[in-house]
Structure 1
């Protein structure tokens, strides 16, 4: 791996706490359980209170040392609600109690929604925890991949959770919907179904894969763009809406970057990745998507007991994900779309022979989507001054 030591790393601003290492459903595309890295098998099911205390101390240490105005803590898994209300309550209290600086803390939880009940809703309201729910579309679309281990679908339970979150008294907790793209589904049907729940935000996620293990429908054929073909009709409906019903993070980031602004998601633009993951055993890891690359790919050898977040930021993997243009392969650095595309998601660039010095396995799709959005945006911009 190349080293990038000439620029000081940006601080951690997102901490993903793995509260539970198991899940109550068995999605067939899951990057935690269905891919190369199987380290979850050897980890504690639930993060212990002693590990929570250590993580809280590291969060406080980093927030104070870096004088952070804002820091986000995401409760994750597996399925984080399996950890139980008492554990989640303890986590929030421990982190808030440890952070004595002026740092504003925001808590969120990403869940499949099946365990969301009155107890959790009251807990989340008390601690101001925003709730994101995963749903891939209507029943047939969602239940193709998001199923229980015995084959039963999960759409009904997820939809029930989303309806609860959209009730007036729970609406402030509603963070949004995470949808993994499946190109065999009708994109407009999926989009309209998600909008029925009136989410404040929708996040479309490309299924994780790389050049050695391509995602579904993404064969190494640069003449085909199945994922762009799926996203473009949704982009057009979102872009043409006078007041979009819901934010779409992917599209907002894309338009912002086209207009010279910042991106907002990992996988677009050249912004620095400011995330660290704390596993249930207290180990510090890079992003979960690297679990699709190889056994041990996300590992850093660091632990909250002995290592600070600043030490994590010095790890070669963390450095590479903050290196911007310099962290890309030669082909990407030459590309005219690189300021917007950013080389795609780091994990999607992997090839065993060349590591991460490759374009994204979604290169053709990203290029097609960026060019389509650029045409739409350019058509709406006022004409520039006449040439001198």
Structure 2
């Protein structure tokens, strides 16, 4: 799944196995659950969605405090995160004047199954298996309700542009028809003056010329997920019979390269065991306009390969292995030395975001920086959820207890998990708030901060890797900027990283 974006604000606010058949179907329509008391019930809904309603009056929350286990029970039931689910008082935030940032990115699930069985997939191999209970395909009625909710949100907040990502599973499993219908319903519902940018994120194995032509004609751009052309990486992205998908995916990439207006870019989950130069060259050979390099979704309870979990802490890069930081720094140097005018030189979002943050600009992605997250997911059954990466934390982690049939997106903004990701520095751990690279790192991806028993108010499990990369980029940037500050860019003051 593509990394979630943040609005380009000027400052942060105050501080698998073969898929099994799913039960499901469309939820019945109910009256809107809004009203004067609706916001007060979201914290209870959050606990109910997380399997706990025992402590409705809990307030505040110290970093790493004791709490109930934030993972599933032995029977596989849902868990919860003490911070923020129990300890973040959203209504107190609202009374203090901390208003929510409206949703500007809507991730709409078109299909909940996938034709690949990637060994590291966080949707099908993560802690949360809610996909098993969801209908494989989104129903027309769910599309209609979702489109109406999006339009209401746009109208309420006067939004002039939104981003709509059509996702799966593999969204092309049912062909282009449902994608076109969903996009058409959203466009038709939007009020005048609001533009929607549509992207479908696919593994590419089912993309052909006819499908691409129909998507492009509808103004839907296509992003590909693939990890590079090494043999080891090819063995990670396989179908349910164990066959590698690289050849089919690169066929789709070459097809997209012939239609640059429809080519959104590539998404790659990195593996520090793979040669970074080989991976970079194999991906840039596909001529993507942009490249997202993603850290594997992991946390302190379930650490990524090559790192240990345990007690969350900030550890200087010199005192902890930084395999991911070194891998990314190597790719950065290859990218930095390239010619931006070369069609084979894509924009790499992680690098451009870090550079922008070092120059004092706001972030537009939740992987780094302090800008408020502004994305929500609508599942195939109409459930309104937080980002999919949370599925790696514990069963039920993305759940809000809300759906498009009965609830608005504004109600979802008062969910503790959503509110926590809009707090900027105030939502970070004490450790992060005193870190010299905090303004750039921003605590890293919210999902990567999780520890069972306390929640998400910790440094990232990739803390040292992120600091290594940020300092590396800062060094390259400092060497490239004019020595005389009078000739440096006026709008950008490079951040001092000590």
Instruction: Name 1:3's counterpart in structure 2.
Output: 89
Instruction: Name 1:225's counterpart in structure 2.
Output: 322
Distance 1:262 1:240 in 2: 25
- Is the Cα–Cα contact under 8 Å of residues 135 and 142 in structure 1 kept in the other structure? no
Instruction: Name 2:22's counterpart in structure 1.
Output: none
Distance 2:437 2:152 in 1: 38
- Is the Cα–Cα contact under 8 Å of residues 207 and 215 in structure 1 kept in the other structure? yes
Q: How many residues align structurally?
A: 384
**Paired residue secondary structure (1:202):** strand
Matching of residues 24-63 of structure 1 within 5 Å: 24-63=115-154
Instruction: Name 1:17's counterpart in structure 2.
Output: 108
What is the aligned-residue RMSD (CA, Å)?
Answer: 1.3
**Higher alpha-carbon deviation: 291-300 or 77-86:** 77-86
- Unmatched tracts of structure 2, length 5 or more: 1-83, 310-314, 487-498
Instruction: Name 1:186's counterpart in structure 2.
Output: 275
Instruction: Please give the per-residue CA displacement for 1:2-33, whole angstroms capped at 9, x wherever unaligned.
Output: 23524111110000001100000100111100
**Paired residue secondary structure (1:130):** strand
Instruction: Name 1:208's counterpart in structure 2.
Output: 297
Check if 1:299 corresponds to 2:399: yes
Check if 1:361 corresponds to 2:361: no
Instruction: Name 1:314's counterpart in structure 2.
Output: 414
Larger Rg: 2
1:139 positional shift = 4.4
- Is the Cα–Cα contact under 8 Å of residues 72 and 107 in structure 1 kept in the other structure? yes
Instruction: Please give the per-residue CA displacement for 1:146-202, whole angstroms capped at 9, x wherever unaligned.
Output: 0011111000000000010111xx221001010110111100110011111110000
**Higher alpha-carbon deviation: 351-360 or 287-296:** 351-360
Distance 1:178 1:233 in 2: 18
Match of 2:284 among 188, 191, 195: 195
- Is the Cα–Cα contact under 8 Å of residues 176 and 215 in structure 2 kept in the other structure? no
1:120 positional shift = 1.2
Higher relative contact order (CA 8 A, sep 6+): 2
Instruction: Name 1:253's counterpart in structure 2.
Output: 353
- Is the Cα–Cα contact under 8 Å of residues 253 and 264 in structure 1 kept in the other structure? yes
- Unmatched tracts of structure 1, length 5 or more: none
Distance of aligned partners of 1:385 and 1:250 in 2 relative to their CA distance in 1, 3 Å threshold = closer
Instruction: Name 2:494's counterpart in structure 1.
Output: none
Moved >6 Å (runs of 4+): none
Instruction: Please give the per-residue CA displacement for 1:209-231, whole angstroms capped at 9, x wherever unaligned.
Output: 00000011122485110001111
Check if 1:349 corresponds to 2:449: yes
Instruction: Name 2:434's counterpart in structure 1.
Output: 334
Matching of residues 107-186 of structure 1 within 5 Å: 107-167=198-258, 170-186=259-275
Instruction: Please give the per-residue CA displacement for 1:81-136, whole angstroms capped at 9, x wherever unaligned.
Output: 11322211211110111012311110000000011012311211111111110111
1:240 positional shift = 2.1
- Is the Cα–Cα contact under 8 Å of residues 234 and 244 in structure 2 kept in the other structure? yes
Match of 2:477 among 372, 377, 381: 377
Question: Could you tell me the TM-score, scaled by structure 2's length?
Answer: 0.76
**Paired residue secondary structure (1:74):** strand
Matching of residues 74-85 of structure 1 within 5 Å: 74-85=165-176
